[in-house]
Amino acid sequence: MEQQTSFGSNVNQSCDNDDNSNVNANKKKCQLCGAINDLRWNVYTTINPKQQQPNILADRIKELLFSKTADDGISDGNCPIALKESIIKMLTDIKPQDKFLWLSSKYKQNIYPPININETGGIVPKIVNSQSIATHNPKYNFSSPLKIETDGYEGIPLQQNPDLSDCSFITSLINLKNYYKDKYNPPVCQVRNCQFKYLINFYFNGSDSRLVCIDTTQIPTDRSGEQLTLNSSNFNHKILEIAYLKLKYNSFDSTGSNTGIDTFLLSGFIPEFRKINTVKWDLVEKYFNSKCCTLALGISENNFSFQNKTWNLKANHDYSIVNVESRNKKLDIVDPLYPDKIISISEWQDVVDIFDTLYVNWDYKKLFRRHEKFHFRYNVQDCNRYRYDRSSKPCFTIRNKVTERQLAPKKQENTVYLLLERHLNDNPGNCTLELFDSITSEILNIKEINNTGFYLIKTGIIDDNLLKACCYSDITASFTVHAYSLLDIEIKKFIFPNIVTIEDIFLINAPLNTSTYCKNTTFKLNIKKPSAETENGNVTINISLFSENVKTEKYVNLQIFHINDFEFSKPLIPKHDYLLNVSTVSNLLLNVNSTYKIVCSSLDSQIGEKFKLIVEESSNLAAAMTLSKYYNYHGGIFKTTIKCTSNFAICQKNNKGYSFEVKLTSKMNTMPDTWNLRLYKEKMHQGGIENMDNVGCDIKWSFTVINSKNQKDSLLFPNGMVRLNRCTASNIVINHRRKQIDNITVKLNIEDDINTYKDYYYIMEIGSLYELRVLQCEIS
């Protein structure tokens, strides 16, 4: 049997033979180790460490660690080096990423802190659950301590108990045992002064040393004395299995996993999941001969194609690949239930027909020299309101730490594996990781999601370039991004630097080229020069429109126009179709120091549904951009609406049509202004309720300022006759000579002929940069 790390056996032996002074010293050492680990939990999991008086804590730890007398503290000879280093680290500044690891220690009501077993001193921290687990299997209605003896199992292969559904875990153990050529010695530590309790480190929740404690005093046992554990000549394998079952199920009643996940849990080997119908024989041969990974095959729960084959296989089961014979293209696999029997498959098509998944786990310590991590929390309420919006999701940059020596004329590529790990979660949600260039570079590829809790990207970074990655999940969970590389790298949180965003609602379903398109929600985009030297020039922008993530799917569109294109006759994005839930435009060239308007429209949204508009400047000119609400149908900023009905002002009919006068007061004083005029003819609904369906009016009309004081200076074209096309507007320059204007009287003549004014009313809307207020509307 392989040797296990054991604090307990040595202590028990010394307690029987040593004098009282040594017993007391060991007792103090045990108490101190436990107290320090408990203190670490309190420090790392406190929301505000300053509230716990860290100076007092630090002084106490120093006093205990570095007391000159062994009776008062732990001498250098007694204190484990790893423990002392962890305490010294704790006394320094607490990094947010380290704090996150401790805060994400809870799973299934148990706490698994990131404490290496070498830092425990063989003591179980108070926060760690060391209770035993049970089963509901009626066959095992007794319990007894775990049998240390391996009588009858000496030299036999590692074998799955048929009453346990943990084939993937046993397959992982078989693979690691073969990979290390029977020298696989997992870290197991017997608890000090406790014969039946053990500490184990597993790789999960962003840490390579999550501490699990098990109690082996009550192992389910049947009437014949057989225990509900795997069969192995290595006692540590049984300890690992019990720890695995406690962690994943808190019971011996397991439901199954897969080999890729369980191999990562045991060893940290990078998991890769490949659909077998996308894999060629040459690739399996290459992977196996690399001696850098373990391989396994899985049959899904609903796959029964193996039943017509000669091998004794089963569904929902994993198999270890133990040999690949290149000459005959033969694959040897092992069933964890019958490990002494080799199953040989000589036809690759049989492998494709029978199996579903190839599980590959890469030995990162052999492939790479560097391993960096970044931990974060994903909240679906914040991140998934707009499903395809990258700016609201966790994004990261990965960059080489390139030295001058490495910046040679010859480009050097640093191979990088990016692994997304979801922390353990009972909700089998989906997640994915993707690389991107800009906020609009292709739509977030949610089709590549999977529910394994992992996602692997193999890539490379040339010289001092950087990668940008984005995470997506459909459940709230904690995550860790692992970056494995040959050269030094750094991974940081990424915030889009040159973007402006705004949220609003859809007001109407009015596509382009319809009479009511002008009523769509619109924003003014103002682009200013980045510096005094930039008088003119162009800027490249990306624009994205995202509908809120609701159950109903909708087709949306964004379009951009020059600010003075009131008739929407010259869209800057030709042939821009309506797309499902998201509309994007990339690399659009616009003028610096110019103003544009962006119209957000939909074909089938419910009125009031929310959307988000994002504009990104991608040319790195640091141009100043602003987005603000703009009203196409009443001038852009300020709106004054005048309703002329029989209840408000009777429109007098003259030889040209109808006319009425409007008195306004203005706050523009001596400033020039541009008025955007719009005229509607709305039909009255029964009972006097307005019917907001625009009837439209294709008529001639004239607009004149008639106040005597500044009549000549008020309008640039005071007698202009404009044909008002249906749902378009006219632009009128007011006060171009910058005269003092406190109030204005305007006269509107309409060349229209209707049967009766009682069935209709006119709406005149005047948009202005300055506030306008209606004083009076009366008969002309």
What is the reported pLDDT for 27? 63
Tokens 């307990």 belong to: 8
Residues 185 and 200: beta-carbon distance below 8 Å: no
pLDDT of 171 above 50:
yes
Cα 315 from Cα 152, distance rounded (Å): 30
Mean pLDDT calculated for residue range 417-438: 92
Cα 712 from Cα 655, distance rounded (Å): 26
Residues 615 and 595: beta-carbon distance below 8 Å: no
Cα 133 from Cα 150, distance rounded (Å): 22
pLDDT of 686 above 60:
no
Residues 761 and 682: beta-carbon distance below 8 Å: yes
Distances from the Cα of 356 to the Cα of 296, 318, 361, 403, 567, angstroms: 11, 10, 17, 45, 58
Residues 653 and 760: beta-carbon distance below 8 Å: no
- pLDDT band at residue 12 under the 50/70/90 scheme: very low
- pLDDT band at residue 717 under the 50/70/90 scheme: very low
pLDDT of 624 above 50:
yes
Better-predicted residue by pLDDT, 693 or 270: 270
Helices in 268-305 by DSSP H: which ranges?
281-290
pLDDT of 35 above 80:
no
Residue 278 DSSP one-character state: G
pLDDT tens string 202-225? 999 999 999 999 999 999 999 999
pLDDT tens string 432-487? 999 988 777 666 767 677 899 999 999 999 888 889 999 999 999 999 999 999 99
Cα 168 from Cα 174, distance rounded (Å): 10
pTM of the model: 0.77
User: Collapsing DSSP states into helix, strand and coil, what is residue 28?
Assistant: helix
Cα 297 from Cα 334, distance rounded (Å): 10
Spatial CA neighbour of 386 closest among 501, 247, 538, 272:
501
User: Collapsing DSSP states into helix, strand and coil, what is residue 111?
Assistant: strand
Cα 454 from Cα 484, distance rounded (Å): 15
- pLDDT band at residue 149 under the 50/70/90 scheme: low
Lowest mean pLDDT among 199-213, 227-241, 310-324, 639-653: 639-653
Pairing of strands 413-422, 477-485: antiparallel
Half-sphere exposure for 106 (CA within 13 Å, toward CB):
6
Cα 126 from Cα 119, distance rounded (Å): 15
Distances from the Cα of 105 to the Cα of 4, 83, 96, 150, 424, angstroms: 25, 19, 15, 34, 10
Mean per-residue pLDDT over the chain, rounded:
79
Number of H helices, E strands in the chain: 13, 42
What is the reported pLDDT for 464? 81
Q: Which residues contact 597 (CB under 8 A, 6 or more apart)?
A: 522, 523, 524, 525, 560, 561, 562, 563, 565, 630, 632, 636
pLDDT tens string 75-121? 444 555 666 666 666 655 678 888 899 999 999 989 999 999 988 88
pLDDT of 711 above 60:
no
Q: What's the chain's Rg over C-alpha atoms?
A: 37
Cα 301 from Cα 284, distance rounded (Å): 23
pLDDT of 683 above 70:
no
Better-predicted residue by pLDDT, 239 or 58: 239
Better-predicted residue by pLDDT, 343 or 530: 343
Cα 624 from Cα 602, distance rounded (Å): 29
Q: Which residues contact 511 (CB under 8 A, 6 or more apart)?
A: 517, 557, 578, 601, 603
Q: How many CB atoms lie within 10 A of CB 160?
A: 25
Provide the greatest CA pair distance for the chain. Answer: 124
Could you give all domains of the chain from N- to C-terminal order, each with its CATH number?
5-119 (no CATH), 142-257 (no CATH), 270-363 (3.90.70.10), 368-493 (2.60.120.380), 499-630 (2.60.120.380), 638-779 (2.60.120)
Better-predicted residue by pLDDT, 646 or 399: 399
- pLDDT band at residue 13 under the 50/70/90 scheme: very low
Cα 452 from Cα 260, distance rounded (Å): 9
Residues 201 and 208: beta-carbon distance below 8 Å: yes
Q: How many CB atoms lie within 10 A of CB 712?
A: 11
Burial level of 76, CB count in 10 A (0-12/13-18/19+)? exposed
What is the reported pLDDT for 606? 77
Lowest mean pLDDT among 178-192, 402-416, 615-629, 672-686: 672-686
Sheet strands (E) in 124-163: 142-144
- pLDDT band at residue 40 under the 50/70/90 scheme: confident
User: Collapsing DSSP states into helix, strand and coil, what is residue 674?
Assistant: strand
Distances from the Cα of 235 to the Cα of 135, 187, 229, 253, angstroms: 21, 12, 11, 21
What is the reported pLDDT for 609? 85
State whether the Cα torsion 435-440-442-446 is positive or negative: positive
Better-predicted residue by pLDDT, 183 or 404: 183
pLDDT tens string 270-303? 999 999 999 999 999 999 999 999 999 999 887 7
Residues 206 and 375: beta-carbon distance below 8 Å: yes
Pairing of strands 5-6, 188-190: parallel
What is the reported pLDDT for 320? 98
What is the reported pLDDT for 193? 80
Q: Classify residue 329 as left (phi > 0), alpha (psi -120 to 50) or beta.
A: left
Spatial CA neighbour of 737 closest among 705, 712, 718, 767:
712
Beta-bridge partners for 725: none
Residues 605 and 554: beta-carbon distance below 8 Å: yes
- pLDDT band at residue 723 under the 50/70/90 scheme: very low
Mean pLDDT calculated for residue range 5-25: 43
Residue type, 248: K
Residue 402 DSSP one-character state: -
- pLDDT band at residue 553 under the 50/70/90 scheme: confident
Tokens 């369906």 belong to: 693
What is the reported pLDDT for 110? 94
pLDDT of 316 above 60:
yes
